[in-house]
Structures are given as structure tokens and as C-alpha cells.
Structure 1
Amino acid sequence: MRLLARLPYDTVFNTVYAALKINLCLVAACLPLLATLALSGSSPLQSWPFYTALSALCGPAAAAAFAAFRALSDGEHHVARTFWTTYRTAFSRSLAVAAAAAAAVIVLAADFQLALGSPFGAVTPLLALLIALVAATTTALLAAEAKPTWKTTLACAYLSIRYWYLSLANLAILGILAAAIVAKPAIGLFLLPAPALYAVWANTRHLTATLH
């Protein structure tokens, strides 16, 4: 009973409530992509270049969620306001980062498909690593709120390679989240995004600590 009395119920409730609000904000911000996935009759894998390009719209949403996590860790519980303020102010920057990453992934993935089963099949591991590096670098740029210059991009790429285990963990978390959204939309959209992205943000904050 004494242990139960010591549990910080207010803190737990506020954290869970904040996570739910962030999930709803993410759903609203990514609605164009989600609506297209729901209404399209084709498999995302069959039309992967189109969905990869459209996923650039999730860049501002991810940057806003990372800012909300930062505010929450500082004791600010008005996460929805922080989310939409950051979404508005960082929209152009984060969309440019995500769009450039989507374009790079489309080119690399197309080359990967062409190389499979061809005399150039030996380059497929390198192409796969480059795709992973683009995803890790993009995540670092969005989480660090860094201005997308060549210097910061190269720094984030270097740090993503140096702390490869954190980058690998982030990619695994994002992959599981994407699979959950496709397989179980209700759970994947309304329960998992905030915890998953928080873990990604926490890893990336350590990864990019030297940029601040």
C-alpha cells in the first residue's frame, strides 16, 4: 500500500495523455498520406515510388513531434500547442529535408531493383547501406532542428555512422512502426507512434549532442 501511495499517478497520467495528444496530432498532420493509403486499391509495395515521395509530408510532422518531446522533457505539458507551432514554423525546412531524402531513396531503391539478378548484383549491399544512411541522416536532421546545409548534413551522416548502433535501433523502431500501421491501423496510429518516435528522438538526441 505504501508503494502504491508513492506512485506518481499525476505524472503517469499526464505523460500518457500527452502521448495520446501527440498521436492525434501526428494522424492529423499525416492525413494526406493516410487517406491515400486507405483509399488506394493498390499495395504500397507495388506503388512504392509514389508512396515514398508522398511520405515527405511526414517530415514536418516528425519534426513537430520531436519538438513536443523536447518540451515534454522540460516539463511542458501543452504538447499539442508546441506540436502545431513547430509544424508551422519548421514546415518549409523539414519538408525540404524529407523531400530530398525521399528523392534519394527513390533513386537508390530503383538502382537496387535494377541491380538485383544482374551482373551488378554485387553493389546491392552498398545501395542498401546508402538507403539506411539516408534514413538515419534525415532522422538526425529533423530531430536536431539543424539547418539543412551541407555542413550539418555531412555532420549528421558522420554521426549516424559513428553511432551506428543507435541508427540501427532507430531504423528498426521506424520499420516496426510502419509495419504496425499497415497491419493494425488502429493500434499503429493511435497507440504506437508517440512511444516509438520518443525512443527515436531519445537516441537521436544523444547521437547529435555534439551539434549543439
Structure 2
Amino acid sequence: MTTVRVTHARWSALIAAAYTTMGLNLMLALAMSPLLAMLILTDPVSTWPVLAILAPFCAPAVTAVFSVFQMQRDGESAVVRPFLRAWRRAWRRATMLGALSTTVTVVLLTDLAMLSMTTYAPLVVPVLWTLLAVSAAMSLTAAVAVVNSRRPEVPIRRILMPSLILSVRRWPASILSLIVIVVQLVTFANAPALAIGITAAPVLYLIWTHAQERA
């Protein structure tokens, strides 16, 4: 019978990964607590205008998580302080990106709701869903680009077009990221505690990895 031995280095890596996951999940929950509370305690169909207002302010937390991943790849071991530094450094551009993404999403979903029951639905609905997917993929790539940018003064509009081109050009990675997001949303709808406390950081890590492949 073969005995599997876990080396000290592997144990250390597992403990570090667990620490990073728990720390980032906690920071995400705190930074996004108003939006999460509204999603859990209210009916999103009725309160979507409030959700649309709160959503852009969650974008800096996402970019901060991406920044922590990048710093840990370069040898950083801490979680909380790097997260807070990254949040402060990118909050303005990340919030602008979140506002743009939220606006496009609201417009497209509104059009879907209005046109899905019309005679134009077979032609229009697939186009709108495609635009929604492309917008989401572009936003994710742009969020990683905000983190990777060495020049914080670069305006967000100069990041969007390259992000759009990369998202379309590397469409397999974009599709994988979108699938991961859908799975996370389904998990949140059925088990919010699991989605917030366990899977949030790993999901963002997968998205960050896919975005690095597109870069």
C-alpha cells in the first residue's frame, strides 16, 4: 500500500492558500456589504435601481483582490494591508469602470426585458445577450488592466478599447471567465454563505488567471 506524504513545503502552500482565501473573502464581504445585504434581504427585481447605484462601489474591491493576487505572485505574503493599499490606489478608476459596466448592463437588461416578448425577439435577443457577454468580458479584462497599469494617471477610456479587443481576440478565456461568473451567481442565489465565505476569492483568482492569458 502506497503512503502519500505531504511535504512541509506543500503544507505551507496549502495553509497560505487557505489564509489568502479567508482573508480576501472577509475583505470582499466588508467592502461589498451594502450590496450583499440588499441582495440577501430584498427582492432584486424590486430593488434593482438601488443595486445599480451600489454596484460601481464594489469594483475597487475586485481590483484590490486582483492586485493582491499579483503581489503574491511576486512574493508578497500579507493580505489585508496589500488589499487596503490597492483599494485606495485604484478606487477612482475602478469605480468609474464599475459605473460604466453597470450602466451598460442595466441598459442591455432593460432592452432584453422590453423586447423579449415582441415579434423582434428572435433577432434582437441573441444580439443583446452577446453584447452583454462581451461587455462583461471587457469589464473583467479592464479591471485587471487597471491593476497592471504602472501609470495610475492613465484615464479609464484608454483602457477600454484594448480590453475589448483582447476579450474578443482571446474569446475562449473570456467564455471560461463568464462561465465561472455564472456558476458563482448560481451558488450565491442558492447558498449565499458558501459563495461569500468560500468560493468568492477562488472564483476571482480563476478570472484573474484567464485575464492574464488574454493580456
SS at match of 1:18: helix
Matched with 2:67 is 67
- The 3 A distance-change label for structure 1 pair 66 and 119 is same
Shift of 1:32: 0.9
Identity %: 27
Mapping for residues 143-158 of structure 1, pairs under 5 Å:
143-145=144-146, 146=149, 147-158=154-165
Structure 1: runs of 5+ lacking an equivalent:
none
Matched with 2:23 is 21
- The 3 A distance-change label for structure 1 pair 5 and 105 is closer
- The CA distance in 2 between the partners of 1:189 and 1:170, in whole Å, is 18
TM-score (norm 1): 0.90
SS at match of 2:6: helix
2:197 to 182, 190, 193: 190
Query: What CA deviation, in whole Å up to 9, does each residue of 1:169-201 have, x standing for no partner?
Result: 111111111221221111111100111100000
Structure 2: runs of 5+ lacking an equivalent:
none
Counterpart AA for 1:93: R
Matched with 1:35 is 37
Q: Alignment RMSD, CA only?
A: 1.8
**Do the aligned residues in 2 keep the contact of 1:144 with 1:205 (CA within 8 Å)?**
no
- The CA distance in 2 between the partners of 1:72 and 1:170, in whole Å, is 21
Matched with 1:141 is 142
Counterpart AA for 1:13: I
**Do the aligned residues in 2 keep the contact of 1:181 with 1:187 (CA within 8 Å)?**
yes
Matched with 2:98 is 98
- The CA distance in 2 between the partners of 1:100 and 1:203, in whole Å, is 22
- The CA distance in 1 between the partners of 2:129 and 2:49, in whole Å, is 16
2:176 to 138, 157, 169: 169
- The CA distance in 2 between the partners of 1:28 and 1:151, in whole Å, is 30
Matched with 2:117 is 117
- The CA distance in 1 between the partners of 2:4 and 2:116, in whole Å, is 62
- Number of aligned residue pairs: give it: 206
Matched with 1:127 is 128
